[in-house]
């Protein structure tokens, strides 16, 4: 039996047969033969609570949702590619996250801003399940047509923590009374997705301490080795037939093997290694490509992704730029340079201009910022707007309403259309040593008082042409 590559996502297991993958990793599951997955939200930052559950900060809200989507996509891809994926049904982890949307209410000084939040569960990373209910129990029946699972279940049966419902093709495990589903399978030839109760073991017997560090005991390593062999047999059995009884472990003994089997398996291992190397390189390049193109979010995004792109652009202009949040205040961007200290707010609109609401919020933020004990001077206000964000640039209307522009002039606030930042930021990313141009961009922001910032044109003629083409030949005269 060829050695299988086994990934564990969300938890660790003893034995070198298992490769631990962090929740925040971009690792593809296609590199493995077998994937063991525990739904989790990873390590997140939460400084507030909502309805009795943690409320993630804006950064964790975006990144955690991104990871959940990543793992759901990877699980589906792995099953479709012929892998065995086992989701261990642990108790769900639940919290609230920011959606990036905001609501405004009231007028004048009584106007307030509400950040829209939504509930999030660790099971958003798991396909096919429509209901997950926390229930504990030990009385479980193995269904008659789940014969291929019998060897595994004999060795590693455990209590259940949740009951499930959804698009499952075959029920494997039910509660002894109540007929509740606690184990199931989805077969997508040639791959299989199994939902099983979590693996349980005695931590005191499996973990010891050496020089203050946790290490696996011999008993734990023995458990891990036995689990790896059982899973490999199960995977092979599922490939052959979901109904056939998997061969017992003792049949894998060398005396029952044919010489040709070893030759074929050696060739398969070589090809798998080559494929894994190529796929790893492809995944790395895809991640690099995604990160390299993140500035394009200035053209079409809203909420946290837009704020992250703005901060990236500001850093390319040689600002010290970062978001700010404490128990009393939360600002999208605070950015500092020799030209001064600025405080910014960002807003994206699907099909309308940026109105007075966001500018009024920025003015309140400026007052809150100045009231802080560690701030001695009033910051310059900058309003970043991405109006009509889903339309081509040449087809967009005015980015800021007349009332918004009027109020900006009164408060000497700079207005920035985020697509206008793209060409300057792109130029700086490709020419990071041109500090003179970066300074000109900062100066353009510094001198803008109640008007739209006009960034200087990069010196390269081809960049100039691109800028004119993407901006549709328009220059805001406000």
Model confidence over 157-175: pLDDT tens digits? Answer: 999 999 999 888 789 999 9
**Which tokens sit at 177?**
């009374």
More confident residue, 163 or 325: 163
Between CA 345 and CA 323 the distance in angstroms is 10
More confident residue, 381 or 288: 381
Between CA 61 and CA 68 the distance in angstroms is 11
Inside any domain, residue 277: no
For residues 35 and 156, membership in a common domain is answered with yes
Question: What own/partner pairs with CB < 8 Å and gap ≥ 24 does 165-170 have?
Answer: 165/129, 165/130, 165/131, 166/128, 166/129, 166/130, 166/131, 167/128, 167/129, 167/130, 168/128, 168/129, 168/195, 170/143, 170/145, 170/146, 170/242
More confident residue, 464 or 128: 128
For residues 116 and 16, membership in a common domain is answered with yes
Bridge partners, 95 (sequence order): 120
What is the share, in percent, of the chain residues with pLDDT greater than 90?
A: 57
Between CA 74 and CA 369 the distance in angstroms is 43
pLDDT at 247: 66
Residue 20 has pLDDT above 90, yes or no: yes
For residues 52 and 145, membership in a common domain is answered with yes
For residues 92 and 211, membership in a common domain is answered with yes
Residue 142 has pLDDT above 60, yes or no: yes
Indicate the helix (H) or strand (E) that contains 322: strand 320-325
Inside any domain, residue 275: no
Domain range for 452 is 293-470
DSSP string for residues in 422-459: HHHHHHHHH-TT-HHHHHHHHHHHHH-SSSB--PPPPS
Between CA 432 and CA 296 the distance in angstroms is 18
pLDDT at 386: 95
pLDDT at 74: 95
Inside any domain, residue 283: no
Inside any domain, residue 365: yes
For residues 246 and 330, membership in a common domain is answered with no
For residues 189 and 314, membership in a common domain is answered with no
Which range scores top for mean pLDDT: 29-33, 59-63, 96-100?
29-33
> What pLDDT digit, counting tens, does each position of 189-212 carry?
778 999 999 998 888 889 888 777
pLDDT at 462: 38
How much is the average pLDDT of 326-352?
89
pLDDT at 460: 55
For residues 332 and 400, membership in a common domain is answered with yes
Helix, strand, coil % (nearest 5) of the chain?
40, 30, 30
Residue 144 has pLDDT above 50, yes or no: yes
Residue 468 has pLDDT above 60, yes or no: no
For residues 231 and 300, membership in a common domain is answered with no
For residues 25 and 103, membership in a common domain is answered with yes
For residues 305 and 235, membership in a common domain is answered with no
Inside any domain, residue 86: yes
> Environment class of residue 431 by beta-carbon count within 10 Å: exposed (0-12), middle (13-18) or buried (19+)?
middle
Among 32-41, 81-90, 166-175, which is the least confidently predicted range? 166-175
Residue 252 has pLDDT above 90, yes or no: no
For residues 315 and 453, membership in a common domain is answered with yes
pLDDT at 109: 61
Residue 279 has pLDDT above 80, yes or no: no
- Where does a domain end: 256, 274, 305? 256
**Nearest alpha carbon to residue 117 among 187, 171, 44, 56:** 56
Where does the pLDDT of residue 47 fall: very low under 50, low under 70, confident under 90, or very high at 90 and above? confident
Task: Supply the mean pLDDT for the chain.
Answer: 86
pLDDT at 19: 94
Inside any domain, residue 336: yes
Give every CB contact of residue 451 below 8 A, 6+ residues apart in sequence: 405, 408, 409, 414, 415, 478
How much is the average pLDDT of 336-357?
93
Residue 434 has pLDDT above 90, yes or no: yes
Inside any domain, residue 133: yes
Among 95-99, 237-241, 423-427, which is the least confidently predicted range? 237-241
How much is the average pLDDT of 314-319?
95
| pTM for the full predicted model | 0.55
Q: State the Cα angle at 223 between 222 and 227, rounded to 5°.
A: 120
Q: Which residues of 114-153 are buried (b: 16+ CB within 10 A; e: fewer)?
A: eeebeebebbbbbbbbeebeeeebeebebbeebebbebbb
Among 56-60, 337-341, 438-442, which is the least confidently predicted range? 56-60
pLDDT at 469: 40
pLDDT at 375: 87
- Where does a domain end: 235, 256, 277? 256
pLDDT at 220: 92
The CATH number of residue 324's host domain is: 3.40.1350.10
pLDDT at 104: 73
pLDDT at 411: 93
Residue 328 has pLDDT above 80, yes or no: no
How much is the average pLDDT of 60-64?
90
Residues in the chain: 478
Inside any domain, residue 288: no
- Where does a domain end: 256, 278, 308? 256
For residues 72 and 196, membership in a common domain is answered with yes
**Domain total of the chain:** 2
Phi, psi of 422 (to 5 degrees): -65, -55
Between CA 114 and CA 241 the distance in angstroms is 55
Beta-strand ranges (E) seen in 122-270 are: 129-137, 140-142, 160-166, 170-175, 181-188, 191-196, 207-210, 213-216
Where does the pLDDT of residue 107 fall: very low under 50, low under 70, confident under 90, or very high at 90 and above? low
Between CA 120 and CA 97 the distance in angstroms is 7
């Amino acid at each position: 039996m060829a050695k299988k590559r086994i990934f564990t996502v969300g938890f660790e297991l003893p034995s070198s047969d298992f490769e631990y993958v962090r929740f925040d990793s971009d690792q593809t599951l296609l590199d493995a033969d077998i994937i063991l997955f525990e739904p989790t939200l990873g390590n997140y930052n939460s400084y507030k609570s909502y309805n009795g559950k943690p409320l993630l900060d804006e950064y964790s809200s975006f990144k955690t949702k991104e990871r959940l989507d990543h793992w759901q996509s990877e699980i589906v891809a792995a099953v479709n590619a012929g892998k065995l994926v086992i989701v261990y049904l642990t108790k769900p982890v639940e919290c609230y996250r920011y959606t990036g949307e905001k609501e405004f209410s009231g007028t004048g000084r009584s106007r307030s801003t509400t950040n829209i939040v939504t509930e999030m569960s660790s099971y958003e990373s798991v396909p096919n399940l429509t209901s997950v209910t926390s229930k504990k129990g030990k009385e479980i029946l193995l269904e008659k047509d789940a014969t291929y699972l019998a060897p595994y279940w004999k060795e590693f049966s455990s209590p259940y923590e949740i009951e499930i419902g959804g698009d499952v093709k075959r029920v494997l495990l039910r509660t002894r009374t109540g007929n509740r589903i606690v184990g199931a399978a989805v077969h997508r030839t040639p791959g299989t997705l199994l939902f099983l109760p979590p693996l349980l073991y005695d931590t005191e017997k499996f973990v010891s301490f050496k020089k203050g560090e946790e290490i696996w005991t011999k008993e734990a390593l023995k458990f891990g080795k036995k689990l790896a062999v059982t899973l490999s047999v199960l995977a092979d059995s599922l490939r052959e037939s979901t109904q056939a009884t998997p061969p017992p472990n003792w049949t894998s003994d060398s005396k029952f093997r044919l010489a040709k089997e070893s030759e074929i398996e050696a060739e398969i291992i070589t090809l798998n290694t080559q494929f894994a190397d190529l796929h790893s390189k492809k995944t790395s390049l895809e991640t690099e490509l995604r990160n390299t193109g993140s500035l394009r979010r200035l053209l079409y995004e809203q909420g946290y992704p837009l704020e992250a792109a703005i901060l990236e652009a500001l850093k390319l202009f040689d600002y010290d730029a970062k978001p700010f949040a404490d128990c009393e205040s939360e600002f999208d961007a605070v950015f500092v340079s020799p030209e001064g200290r600025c405080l910014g707010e960002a807003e994206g609109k699907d099909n309308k201009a940026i109105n007075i609401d966001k500018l009024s919020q920025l003015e309140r933020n400026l007052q809150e910022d100045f009231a802080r004990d560690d701030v001695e001077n009033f910051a310059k206000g900058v309003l970043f707007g991405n109006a009509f964000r889903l339309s081509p640039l040449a087809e967009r209307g005015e980015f800021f309403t007349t009332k918004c522009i009027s109020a900006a002039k009164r408060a000497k606030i700079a207005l920035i259309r985020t697509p206008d930042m793209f060409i300057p930021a792109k130029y700086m990313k490709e020419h990071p040593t041109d500090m003179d141009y970066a300074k000109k961009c900062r100066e353009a922001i510094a001198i803008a008082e109640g008007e739209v910032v006009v960034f200087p044109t990069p010196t390269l003629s081809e960049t100039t042409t691109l800028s004119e083409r993407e901006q549709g030949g328009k220059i805001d005269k406000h």
